[in-house]
Amino acid sequence: MKKLVIIGLTLCSLSVFAQNNEKSVSDSAKELKYRVSFPAIILGNLGKAGERTNTHHFELHVKREIDAKNIIGVKFATWRLFQPMGIQWWDGLLDKIDTQSEFYPGHLYERGIGISYQRMLWKGLFASVEVLPLYKTYKDIDNKKINNGFKLYNSYHVGYHFAFGKKKQFFIEPQFHCNVWHFDTKTPQAFKQLDNKWKNYFLFEPNLYIGFKF
């Protein structure tokens, strides 16, 4: 009988400890309300500063979890375009890069600060939308400024959130997005002739975001 009491007390103690430990890990995870992430694609630009097709892409997301389902954030982005964004995969996008047939007579630089909303749908599955006002600068092939303009750039994402680490503080988010832009103003004629040949959207762009929570 005495042994049964001791065993019972021991099991109860272990059960309480396990519950407290589980609660501690859960509470620690809940404390990680903020997250920072960037698209892995920007790593491909490293060491290619002088190349014509280097997009000089830099992008950073800072987000906050409102609750388990809703996440809001701020997006900082800048990039350089060497040809129209509206050339689709099935239009021979990669071939046109090789032949340079649709290259601008220079580059288009875009930069802006926007907002994002991410909704967790089921487990790690999510959908998100981003709105990014962009300030544009057009430069010729000799890097001389031609004109400035404005563009409103929106993107719609579907992806999956994979978290890992002791507190699940690190994550990756493979995803696809569709991009569309409006109010594209003050485009120089030589650039506009190329833009008008293609769409004002790009479909099914694959990407991988890398980030951490804190």
**Residue 14, pLDDT score:** 38
Provide the pLDDT for residue 19: 45
- Mean pLDDT along residues 39-48: 86
Q: Are residues 15 and 56 in the same domain?
A: no
The pLDDT of residue 150 is above 50: yes
Mark whether 41 and 19 lie in a shared domain. Answer: no
Burial 3-24 (b: 16+ CB within 10 A, else e): eeeeeeeeeeeeeeeeeeeeee
**Could you tell me which residues come within 8 angstroms of residue 214 by beta carbon, excluding any fewer than 6 positions away?**
32, 34, 35, 36, 169
92: left (phi over 0), alpha (psi -120 to 50) or beta: left
* CATH code assigned at 105: 2.40.160
Q: Which residues contact 130 (CB under 8 A, 6 or more apart)?
A: 75, 114, 115, 116, 154, 155, 157
Q: What is the pLDDT of residue 31?
A: 82
Q: Are residues 61 and 166 in the same domain?
A: yes
44 & 68 share domain: yes
Q: Are residues 45 and 20 in the same domain?
A: no
3-state secondary structure of 154: strand
- DSSP 3-state of 117: strand
Which two tokens mark 65? Answer: 């979890």
Average pLDDT of the segment spanning 120-148 = 97
Q: What token pair was written down for 147?
A: 């004109």
Provide the number of structural domains found in the chain: 2
Asked if 21 and 72 sit in the same domain, the reply is no
Range scoring the smallest mean pLDDT among 43-47, 59-63, 200-204, 205-209: 43-47
Q: Please give the residue range of the domain that contains residue 15.
A: 1-31
- β-bridge mates for residue 155, sequence order: 130, 179
> How large is the average pLDDT for residues 99-128?
98
Is the pLDDT at 165 greater than 50? The verdict is yes
**Chain-centre distance of CA 28, in angstroms?**
26
Per-residue pLDDT, 30: 60
- Regarding whether 25 and 43 lie in a shared domain, the answer is no
Query: Do 38 and 27 share a structural domain?
Result: no
Query: What pTM, to 2 d.p., does this model score?
Result: 0.83
